[in-house]
Structure 1
Amino acid sequence: MKLLFKQHRGYESDHTQFIKALKEKNPTIEAGQQQGRSLLWDKEPTSLDEQARQRDSRIAQQAYVYQNKL
């Protein structure tokens, strides 16, 4: 088994080669990814008062939303 790993040590898949070429072509791609991630995920925690306000302002949904109340 060790022979197999030694034999293919320098192998890179097509996907790895593509990603490396993409990063060389556009070196700011990782910074853009981190900036996009921060927009969606890196947010300040909400205060307990804000959480209570959001919880109180929710509107209860009817059991079957596609049926009109007559």
Structure 2
Amino acid sequence: MADFESDYTKFMREWKQKHPEQAEEARKGRALWWDKPPRDLDTQRREQEAKVATKSYYYDAN
């Protein structure tokens, strides 16, 4: 059973071999959307102090 490989896995392996430039594009996309630079401690402290407590019932007007 360890030799099984799905059609999708085969397709992606072949596609990556035919389009090696896409690996760099994927890294750029990840950096754009997910990888954030570390913030300094002062910025973290100011963000923490600026937080407003959320009400237990969000739609309550009072």
TM-score, scaled to structure 1: 0.65
CA spacing shift, 1:61–1:12, aligned 2, 3 Å: closer
C-alpha distance in 2 between matches for 1:46 and 1:66: 33
Amino acid at match of 1:31: E
Structure 2 residues without counterparts, runs of 5 or longer: none
Runs of 4+ in 1 over 6 A off after TM superposition: none
Following superposition, the deviation at residue 27 of structure 1 comes to 2.6
Secondary structure, counterpart of 1:66 in structure 2:
coil
Question: Residue 41 in 1 paired to residue 23 in 2?
Answer: no
Following superposition, the deviation at residue 20 of structure 1 comes to 2.5
Structure 1 residues without counterparts, runs of 5 or longer: none
Question: Residue 19 in 1 paired to residue 8 in 2?
Answer: no
Other-structure match for 1:53: 46
TM-score, scaled to structure 2: 0.71
Following superposition, the deviation at residue 41 of structure 1 comes to 3.1
Secondary structure, counterpart of 1:46 in structure 2:
coil
How many residues are aligned here? 61
C-alpha distance in 1 between matches for 2:5 and 2:53: 54
State the structure with more CA Rg.
1
RMSD: 2.4
